[in-house]
Structure 1
Amino acid sequence: MLRKHLFEELIWGGLAALLVWGGWTSRPGWAQAPESAPLRVFILAGQSNMQGHAQVSTIPAMQWNPQAAPLLKDILGPDGQPRACQRVWISSLGSSDTEKIGRLTVGFGAAGKEPKIGPEYTFGIYIEKHLDGPVLIIKTAWGGKSLHTDFRPPSAGPYEFTPEQLEVLERRGKDVQQIQADRKAASGRFYRLMIDHVRFVLSDIERVCPQYDPAQGYELAGFVWFQGWNDMVDSGTYPHRDQPKGFDEYSRLLGHFIRDVRSDLDCPDLPFVIGVLGVGGPTDRYGPDKQRYKSVHQNFRDAMAAPADWPEFRGNVVAVRTEAYWDMQVAALRERERAILPQVNAIRKRIRAGEIARDEGEQQIAALYDQTFDARELEILRRSVSNAEYHYLGSAGIMAQIGKGFADAMVQLMEKRSPR
């Protein structure tokens, strides 16, 4: 069993610990003899869940997740710390203020006080297991971005406001022409940034991947798209989202996105994995408090997955339904925690008001938790979660499975791909 406080030194050590793990060493320390195989290049793109908000401190909690626990043998090195890949390199843009490059390890998730992982970490680990030769991941991910505007593909045409949207804007006295002009200016901006960064990295691969051998060249090997939240919650762009076909426009846009990426990167058969948004887990297991979201969530997931079944994409596009990796055990514990939160918040309010001493209030809160959970349940709850539900609970156990799921799906597509 992993030590209870396996990563305390990481939490407080910050960058120093990452340097020990080999993520961001100085360039002279990177150099190794080039592998005698073409460099495989994978592009990972999307919004905040592609950035990744799973704090590294949640990795030890994977031992309590039956689905995630088997992955620990591939994630942890002999010293019990998360390992760095030996043949996988990454350029990540959007997850922090500046581009991050280096050998793939933890810390390439979203910026924060503690290093985080996104799908890139285990995607790289399992791609490395499947493939010989060097690998380069180019990750472009920005939080809070939509497909209908921010990542809007060029061939989709301009964003068209619905009559309902225009009516609401006019009723509120808004400058409709200015809003339309602003939307036009914003449309496709992050699509262009994504393509530009891919081209920039490919123009000087050795800057990121010292193992690159120009004589062997490189191959664009696959693309992973993991996005969706900002479209799913947009009732203006998708006014009938709670009805069947309410997200057909998203499917249409995603089809254009796939075609345009392949065209702009001159790779017409580029394997494409769609990471279908799955926060909350399978909708048929939603509890009473989530029933009002059930149809919207399911409709959106089906719309995201739909292009994989279109005849033109069959065999080279696949959808991975990430709901399968949701931690139902932790979700159930959080439901029980919600039942006592009103009492917890009331106690904290009394502490702030000076009605009771802080020590007394904290003892009352601890007693509530002790009455609600046994020691093991409390450990699982507190060590498995580091972010909100819409970020997959900030759970390394969930995120690690997602990355592996993307890698497994990608390998299957690559096996079907015609020799280049």
Structure 2
Amino acid sequence: MSRTVAWLPLLLIAALIAPALVQAADTYQVFILAGQSNMEGKASNQLLEHQATDPATSALFARFRDGDKWIERDDVSIKFLERHGPLTLGYGSRDKTGLELAFGTAMGEHYDEPVLLIKTAWGGHSLYQKFRPPSAGLPSEEVLAEELANLQERTKKNNEKRNRNDPLPTMAEVKAQYGISYQNMMQDVKETLQNADTLFPQLAGKQPQIAGFVWFQGFNDMFGDYAKQEYAQNMKLLIHDIRAAWNSPDLPVVIGALGQNGSSPAQENMKAIQDAQLAMNEVPEFAGNVKTIRTDVLVDKVAEEKFPTWKENIEEWKLVGSDRPYHYLGSAIWYTRIGDELAKTMLELKGSN
């Protein structure tokens, strides 16, 4: 056999592989992080600065730093509301950080391609109302009428108490609130990807691949019978709707279950939402592509133990926490652990796909 003939099979293989390599090099991985205030992120940057240099806690944060500086990753970009840039400290609520730092760092370490995080999160927005998926439709006319009556009564009392003359809410205004955050989320993702070349010059000329969806929400759904009853169904519909909108029928979805109960068992309303979120693990059609993780088991026990007396020991408290229990104590450790676990689970789902 001539040398030329011997090399032909290898040349054919190379020809087949080359387009795939070019295609991979011309794409970037997109992860959407959605939810309410805890997805925004509530660990203060000041706390992170302390714990990143405290010998007792620095090991957890070392991967986010280069010497005494926070890394600004050139392989992971982030867009959160009006802010955008390389992933680093401070992409949570004002002067705060959330799970995106740990999650995005893990994605950057895993992928050879660039990664883009699009965070769409607004405090106090429920799945029942503002994040309500389109396929859920509106609540019944009876439920809407009840809501309108309550809002109008509340407005009347507020007008009397404050000597105001605010107009009473209308049914059109009530209906307009249903799905508004879902719509804003979808619009934000669309506009970010359309303008990615301008927002993130390093992505210019590359094509986005929507790679996964992370959901961290649920607190406001505890406060309403209809919201609790419908949560599991609305969660399923949300997953179906985003997959249809992004033309990705098996898009990996990771859900962070409510976990503000920490070391204590979840009670009543919180348990109802937590159970509804964990029920996604039992939906046959979601096997291998949707996973809910527990966040209570990741609790920062030091912050948890110190919170009851934080007012009497404010300076000591500032070294471990920065917010109330409903915001996971503003614990940098707790948010980082959640981000790590969400990332690990996402990569497991990606592997199974």
Deviates more, 1:380-389 or 1:47-56: 380-389
The answer to whether the aligner puts 1:322 opposite 2:292 as a matched pair is no
Superposition pairs of residues 176-187 of structure 1, within 5 angstroms = 180-187=171-178
> 1:102 is paired with a residue of what secondary structure?
strand
Q: For 1:92-134, what per-residue CA distance to the aligned partner results, in whole angstroms no more than 9, with x for missing partners?
A: 11xxxxx1111111111112xxx21111111111111111120
- Specify the code of the residue in structure 2 equivalent to 1:58: L
Post-superposition offset of 1:153: 0.4
In structure 1, C-alpha distance between the alignment counterparts of 2:60 and 2:342, rounded to whole Å: 14
> 1:224 is paired with a residue of what secondary structure?
strand
Q: For 1:246-296, what per-residue CA distance to the aligned partner results, in whole angstroms no more than 9, with x for missing partners?
A: x34101001110100111112111111111111131433xxxxxxxx7232
- Specify the code of the residue in structure 1 equivalent to 2:70: P
Instruction: Pick one of 320, 335, 339 that aligns with 1:399.
Output: 335
The answer to whether the aligner puts 1:146 opposite 2:126 as a matched pair is yes
In structure 2, C-alpha distance between the alignment counterparts of 1:307 and 1:159, rounded to whole Å: 22
Q: Does structure 2 retain, via aligned residues, the 8 Å contact 1:159–1:184?
A: no
Post-superposition offset of 1:209: 2.2
TM-score in terms of structure 2 length: 0.81
In structure 1, C-alpha distance between the alignment counterparts of 2:172 and 2:65, rounded to whole Å: 50
Post-superposition offset of 1:392: 1.1
Q: 1:258 to 1:168 in 2, by over 3 A?
A: closer
Instruction: Pick one of 83, 94, 100 that aligns with 1:100.
Output: 83
Superposition pairs of residues 75-90 of structure 1, within 5 angstroms = 75-78=64-67, 80-90=68-78
> 2:221 is paired with a residue of what secondary structure?
helix
Gaps of 5+ in 2: 1-23, 156-167
Moved over 6 A (4+): 62-66, 161-165
**1:312 corresponds to:** 285
Post-superposition offset of 1:399: 1.0
In structure 2, C-alpha distance between the alignment counterparts of 1:64 and 1:280, rounded to whole Å: 27
Aligned length: 318
In structure 2, C-alpha distance between the alignment counterparts of 1:147 and 1:390, rounded to whole Å: 17
> 1:139 is paired with a residue of what secondary structure?
strand
Q: 1:261 to 1:163 in 2, by over 3 A?
A: closer
Q: 1:65 to 1:151 in 2, by over 3 A?
A: farther
The answer to whether the aligner puts 1:212 opposite 2:203 as a matched pair is yes
In structure 2, C-alpha distance between the alignment counterparts of 1:257 and 1:65, rounded to whole Å: 43
The answer to whether the aligner puts 1:260 opposite 2:249 as a matched pair is no
In structure 2, C-alpha distance between the alignment counterparts of 1:325 and 1:268, rounded to whole Å: 31
- Specify the code of the residue in structure 2 equivalent to 1:301: Q
Q: 1:190 to 1:73 in 2, by over 3 A?
A: same
Q: Does structure 2 retain, via aligned residues, the 8 Å contact 1:276–1:320?
A: yes
- Specify the code of the residue in structure 1 equivalent to 2:174: R
The answer to whether the aligner puts 1:73 opposite 2:62 as a matched pair is yes
TM-score in terms of structure 1 length: 0.69
Q: Does structure 2 retain, via aligned residues, the 8 Å contact 1:42–1:220?
A: yes
Superposition pairs of residues 259-338 of structure 1, within 5 angstroms = 259-284=240-265, 294-335=267-308, 337=309
**1:225 corresponds to:** 215
> 1:39 is paired with a residue of what secondary structure?
strand
In structure 2, C-alpha distance between the alignment counterparts of 1:100 and 1:173, rounded to whole Å: 39
Q: Does structure 1 retain, via aligned residues, the 8 Å contact 2:211–2:251?
A: yes
Gaps of 5+ in 1: 1-34, 94-98, 239-246, 285-292, 345-368, 370-377
